[in-house]
A and B are shown apart, each in its own frame.
Chain A
């Protein structure tokens, strides 16, 4: 187990290394932070002096080494626009993004799992069709639009919760649903499919033929077998949140998270800060995948130890 864990951690670190290197290639080989920060009509001298100021006139290998050694100690460079360390800016915003992801994950699991179980319980009956309808609708609607609909109906018309910003628990509700509904829809379908599949296996058929009810069999026999897939899918949804949904939803709800920081930085032409935000979000994805692997291993000992 420990050897397996060590291997997984090394593999995860390797992925972070490759991803950050790719980011470096884009931000330093194809272009550079100085060019991006200046307007297109800037003169050659301006460019040269800006490059010198940012240390971009040094050989690429030196810059790459600087970048990597900075990464190890958590130094992600200096934000050009805000003249502060980029890592400080990103890590200040990270808790807000984590809160949002936690809220959305709660919505996903608390809605997705029961709906999937209900649909499997009443397979090909009304509940099943209703859950399928919900899933199709929720995965088809763009999350940012769901966000605005929630703002229009629940915040602006009914005035139950604040429209924008992040003040306390109440303001977390709408963004969490905006992100979580689509994930819940996918998770419900996956759970349903998993349970239905298990129910056709001999052990479940045996259990039911011995007189256990369908619901008892679902809860006591199939659930453990579905759990591993369930955790994998939930983890996958969390990575989706880190890499897409939060960015868009933070913009919709003016949520002070890493995603909005990155989008703002793009319009400030602050390449270093965008780079820092992307590196941190990609690391979150890799960490999530690692945690999912560990959780799967704990739930299901059959998971391959390779």
Chain B
């Protein structure tokens, strides 16, 4: 499930984070050559780049209409191929707004919320994981129990109670997604630190009198980075899905701003009649982007997982 487990080869129990060669140049070159061989990696990169492009450059793209412009005579125009015209390639919604333009507009909020949430979760979770793993003892017990409790009280439940208490807002959604994913980073980070902290270079710097903070920051953290980046990508997929679910429930972005989840919520009354395209295309946008992120993470995992890479090369005879 997680990127750092290496179940293919139990002998290599030290995880994968420390397998990287010392020079980052070699890693990048290897990463690139591995990418070109992987269809999943290429498709993932392409989809994610398009997503980021739409989110960042959306309003300046040519031929894209104003996502907020309403036009009641054009309401519920079907997409091209179902009786629509190229004026609205993906049709229009219940207020006559262009669906393609709204999809591109919605990419921004989706990217903003999910990336911010994952960064918060990763920073918080990694710091706690480093401290728990390196310090051990009571601090470790405390942090691990907190992570266990958090496991029993995940995302949407925390979201329900916080939205009920403070009212819907985008920031609240970011916080909810972050607090429902920090413990993943804590667990993985802590597990890796456990194996790393008995290594010679850590003992050497301890003997040389380095402070705990220096050891955690300068010696342990760099060895966690590759595993944690893979984990970030994996959590990003979950975060995009969560954001869309919260928006769908009406807990996040409020109209007139648009988001993919919100489009599905607003289009839901038209699913059984003359307007199936609103929900279909908005959901498809979410699904494609999440698929792209998942493919990227699949490829990163296969790259990190040395045994898996060997498997690809070896071409096992099946059956």
Give the interface of A toward B (CB within 8 A). Answer: 15, 18-19, 22-23, 26-27, 30-31, 36, 122-125, 136-137, 139-145, 148-149, 151-152, 155-156, 163, 190, 193, 197, 200, 214, 239-240, 243-244, 247-248, 251-252, 262-263, 265-267, 269, 271, 274-275, 277-278, 281-282, 285-286, 289
Contacts and interface: CB of A to CB of B under 8 A. Distances in A.
Given A15-B149, A151-B272, A125 B318 contact: yes
Nearest to B1: A190
Dominant secondary structure at the B interface: helix
B160 A247 contact: yes
Contact of B161 (A18, A190, A263, A274): A274
Interface stretch (B113-121, B197-205, B206-214, B282-290): B282-290
A239 B287 CA distance: 23
A243 B163 CA distance: 15
Given A144-B248, A243-B155, A278 B160 contact: yes
A31 B165 contact: yes
A140 B237 contact: yes
Contact of B152 (A156, A267, A289): A289
Given A145-B264, A274-B164, A136 B157 contact: no
Nearest to A244: B156
Given A27-B164, A31-B166, A142-B287, 20 more contacts: A26-B161, A31-B165, A136-B298, A140-B287, A142-B245, A142-B283, A142-B286, A145-B279, A145-B284, A151-B271, A152-B276, A156-B272, A200-B8, A243-B155, A247-B249, A267-B250, A274-B164, A278-B157, A282-B153, A285-B154
Contacts of A263: 160, 249
A141 B152 contact: no
A23 B161 contact: yes
Contact of B165 (A36, A145, A155, A248): A36
B85 interface: no
B149 A277 contact: no
Given A122-B318, A148-B264, A247-B249, A271 B165 contact: yes
B99 to A, nearest CB: 15
B56 interface: no
Dominant secondary structure at the A interface: helix
A200 B284 CA distance: 39
B160 A277 contact: yes
B184 to A, nearest CB: 13
B165 A141 contact: no
A146 to B, nearest CB: 8
11 contacts: A36-B165, A124-B316, A136-B291, A137-B291, A140-B287, A142-B290, A145-B283, A148-B271, A214-B319, A252-B268, A271-B164
B161 A278 contact: yes
Nearest to B164: A274
Given A19-B153, A282-B153, A285-B153, A248 B245 contact: yes
B244 A142 contact: yes
A129 B94 CA distance: 40
B154 A244 contact: yes
B241 interface: yes
A244 B160 CA distance: 10
Interface in B271-306: 271-272, 276, 279-280, 282-284, 286-288, 290-291, 294-295, 298
A159 to B, nearest CB: 10
Contacts of A275: 161, 164
A262 B241 CA distance: 20
A82 B153 CA distance: 26
Contacts of A149: 280, 283
B280 A152 contact: yes
Contacts of A244: 154-157, 245
A248 B294 contact: no
A281 B157 contact: yes
B66 interface: no
B162 interface: yes
B222 interface: no
Given A19-B149, A148-B283, A197 B7 contact: yes
B148 interface: yes
Task: Determine which residue in B162, B249, B250, B290 has the highest number of CB atoms from chain A within 10 A of its CB, and name it.
Answer: B249
A15 B318 contact: no
B129 to A, nearest CB: 20
Interface in B157-207: 157, 160-166
B164 A266 contact: yes
Q: Which 5 A-B pairs have the closest CB atoms?
A: A145-B283, A140-B291, A274-B164, A244-B156, A140-B290
Task: Determine which residue in B160, B272, B280 has the highest number of CB atoms from chain A within 10 A of its CB, and name it.
Answer: B160
Contacts of A282: 152-153, 157
Contacts of B288: 140
A152 B267 CA distance: 12
Nearest to B295: A136
Contacts of A285: 152-154, 157
A27 B154 contact: no
A128 B34 CA distance: 22
Nearest to B250: A267
Contacts of B7: 193, 197
B291 A22 contact: no
Contacts of A143: 245
A144 B245 contact: yes
Interface in B1-26: 1, 7-8
